[in-house]
Amino acid sequence: MRKKAIPAAALALLCFCAACSLSMEFIPAAADPYLSSRPAAALGNLAMSLNNRMLTFAVCFSACLCFALFLRRRETEKPGALFHICCVLIAGVWLSAQGFQYRHRTDILWAPAGQPLKSVLYLIGSLFLLELIGRGLLLFLDSERDLPARGGKLLDAFRRRPLLAYFTAFFLFCLPTWIICYPGYMVVDSYVQLAYYFQIYEFAGQLPPVHTLMIGIPVRIGRALGSGNFGLFLVVCMQMLALCAVSAYLMKTLQDFGAPRWLKLFAFLTVILSPSHIVQAALVSKDTPYSYAVLLFTIELAWLFRLGDDYWKSRFHKLLLAFSIVMSMLVRPNGKYLVYVCALVCLIVLAVRVRRGGARRSLRSALLFFLCPILISLVIAKAVDLRYDVIPGSRREALSLPFQQTARYLRDHGDDVTQEEREKIDAILDFEELPHYYSPMDSSSVKQFYRDETGIKELMTYFGAWLKMGLRHPSTYLDATLNQNYPLFCPWTVWTKERGATYSPRHSHIADPLGLHDVDVADGLEEILRGADRLLCMLPFPGLCVNCAGTTLLLILLCCGAIRRREWEFLLYALPGLVTVGTIFLAPVVDPRFIFPVSYGMPLVVCLYRNGHRARMNAA
């Protein structure tokens, strides 16, 4: 049923607000001494904020108006109440982010001399803009149109032997980076893990011990052959081959699921162009194998609910499901929580289907092939801990958000803390140092003051004080949360996936004994590729693939669309992504590498969303 049209004057006003939100400068403009009244000063501030941006304003206004009129003619379904609620919440985050980007505070939003007027215009405009973009995307995804078929001979090669054809294509595109990055790009955590493995540091469980072995053993093999660099290169080789194999499997799955040509082309170009894939595969980091494991797990969940009982007849699928579960749990600490949640939900869904007359074999097989890999993972992790005398990891990683909120509270309202609350906080954290090391965008600096020797009793008393403080100043806790996490929802934050280096002077005491050093293979070509990576990250495509907000907002939009159509099965496919986004929200910092497990699988999630719509239309 077509919804009631918005009057033309109201539509023009909404487009005006949207154009203002896209083009105005939010920093307070200099006051005009000739404007004495408040309304005149507010309008003057707005005019100064749009100064030298009128061309941008005009283009944005025209584009919004044309697109809104286009949607008025084409749209036939209401987007749903949940969609509107999500748009309101995200618009509020966008408004808060304007203040956080200026001084990490929201005071600027409601300062005198016209800032409240700009805030209201921005909130209305960004809300309307979100609704326009969301409705347009849903309309596009619900359409049955596809790109015209071109390149028939090339497409036939991919249809006949898709796994081999896609693997070969990805391998050829990875080869230049594979050679130029020799022996591989290192991160701080990887150096620390090598120090654990070679007993330069005490082996601690703060970083995943199994992944420590995954990079430590190849480096040991390389040193035995006379080159630590060669051992590191073996790790990169395994990661590159994993990228090619899992990405080829994703493309084959898209083909088998009947994905449109534009979606397959988008997925293919993303792998070969986006630095989030090839550059990440050259980076020795726990996030790289974890991303591939979660992508494989997402693909197998899609096959599980597509094939039903027939899924358990395939040894290939059962092996991949078990492997993805084991790897997800072992290479990152938060992987086990993702597996626990997804396994529990899948088992509940299958149990409900059995009660409604479904086959019991699916439930029994799911119990076996979900629980057994989980138990195997726990046994392997425990065996590694015992073999290498691993010091247990700290629980501080799971408490990043409340620690961040406490630190901001002490910075802004330190005089408001009672002596009893101070003692409870000091039992867990260093009360004196905490506010001085508070960083609005990263809670890593405050986590270091956690006292590992404290027990559950002290932690519970801390949470009692934390709750009382939050009830007194809830806006402070909200600001601390949004200030750290707004990049997860704001797509204008430009992220770059930089190529790194092998050698780090800061970790020379680790690199030198192991024989790890930079090798100048093709410095000129590598600089060209660095510049190309920066350019690609700044472009809408494939830049949004490196952007946390692009993936998060698309996932939320698809879930809203599925709930509107009551396609509850889609939420099972989106569950790994939703759990991952929730984990990032609670993590110490928002970083693009944390969203890669979701962004890698988004083409498949979009395909499943379209398939659900097509199935509903065919049934109707």
Residue 538 pLDDT exceeds 90? no
What residue segments make up the domains of the chain, in order of their start? 8-142, 152-311+495-572+592-619, 395-451+453-488
* Average pLDDT value for residue range 308-329: 93
Q: In this predicted structure, what is the pLDDT of residue 58?
A: 92
pLDDT in tens, 415-435: 889 999 999 999 999 888 888
Q: In this predicted structure, what is the pLDDT of residue 616?
A: 54
* Average pLDDT value for residue range 105-131: 87
Q: Average model confidence (pLDDT) for the chain? A: 87
Which residues are 429's β-sheet partners? 450
Q: How many CA atoms lie within 13 A of 32 on its CB side?
A: 17
Going from the C-alpha of 541 to that of each of 132, 193, 275, 470, the distances in angstroms are 20, 34, 11, 41
Residue 136 pLDDT exceeds 90? yes
Which residues are 284's β-sheet partners? 186
Cα separation, 591 vs 178, whole angstroms: 24
Cα separation, 81 vs 87, whole angstroms: 10
Q: In this predicted structure, what is the pLDDT of residue 392?
A: 86
Q: CB count, 10 Å around CB of 454?
A: 15
**Per-residue confidence at 181, pLDDT binned at 50, 70, 90?**
confident
Instruction: Write the CB contacts of 578 (distance below 8 Å, at least 6 apart in sequence).
Output: 555, 559, 571
Instruction: Write the CB contacts of 542 (distance below 8 Å, at least 6 apart in sequence).
Output: 269, 270, 273, 274, 276, 536
Q: Which of 577, 576, 583 is nearest to 552 (CA)?
A: 577
**192 — alpha (psi -120 to 50), left (phi > 0) or beta?**
alpha
User: How much is the CA Rg of the chain, to the nearest whole Å?
Assistant: 26
- Token duo for residue 527: 């600089």
Q: What percent of the chain lies above the pLDDT cut of 90?
A: 55
The string of DSSP codes covering 508-569 is HHHHHHHT-----S-HHHHHHHHHHHHHHHHSHHHHHHH-HHHHHHHHHHHHHHHHHTT-TH
CB environment 122-155: b (16+ within 10 A), e (fewer): bbbbbbbbbbbebbbbbbebbeeeeeeeeeeeee
SS3 call for 391 = strand
Instruction: Write the CB contacts of 444 (distance below 8 Å, at least 6 apart in sequence).
Output: 400, 588, 589
pTM over 0.95: no
CB environment 522-532: b (16+ within 10 A), e (fewer): eeeebeebeee
SS3 call for 339 = helix
Q: CB count, 10 Å around CB of 49?
A: 21
Q: Which of 135, 226, 146, 251 is nearest to 564 (CA)?
A: 135
Q: In this predicted structure, what is the pLDDT of residue 84?
A: 94
Q: Which of 547, 548, 543, 537 is nearest to 587 (CA)?
A: 548
Contacts 24+ apart (CB under 8 A), 474-479: 476/405, 476/408, 476/409, 476/412, 476/413, 477/405, 477/408, 477/409, 479/96, 479/100, 479/105, 479/106, 479/408
Q: CB count, 10 Å around CB of 461?
A: 18
Cα angle for residues 207, 174, 552 (degrees, 5° grid): 55
Q: CB count, 10 Å around CB of 206?
A: 17
Is 354:363 a contact under the CB 8 Å cutoff?
yes
Per-residue DSSP letter, 453 = T
The string of DSSP codes covering 589-605 is S--HHHHHHHHTTHHHH
Amino acid at 124: I
* Average pLDDT value for residue range 522-546: 82
| Burial (CB count within 10 angstroms: exposed 0-12, middle 13-18, buried 19+), residue 55 | exposed
CB environment 295-310: b (16+ within 10 A), e (fewer): bbbbbbbbbbbbeeee
Q: Which of 543, 616, 549, 620 is nearest to 584 (CA)?
A: 549
Cα separation, 73 vs 68, whole angstroms: 9
- Token duo for residue 312: 């358990």
242 compared with 519, residue with greater pLDDT: 242
Is 46:114 a contact under the CB 8 Å cutoff?
yes
- Token duo for residue 320: 């991949």
* Average pLDDT value for residue range 308-320: 91
Per-residue DSSP letter, 588 = S
- Evaluated on CA atoms 240, 329, 343, 569, the torsion sign reads negative
pLDDT in tens, 201-211: 999 888 999 99
- Main-chain dihedrals φ then ψ at residue 179, nearest 5 degrees: -80, -45
pLDDT in tens, 215-256: 999 999 999 998 999 999 999 999 999 999 999 999 999 999
Q: In this predicted structure, what is the pLDDT of residue 620?
A: 44
Q: In this predicted structure, what is the pLDDT of residue 496?
A: 72
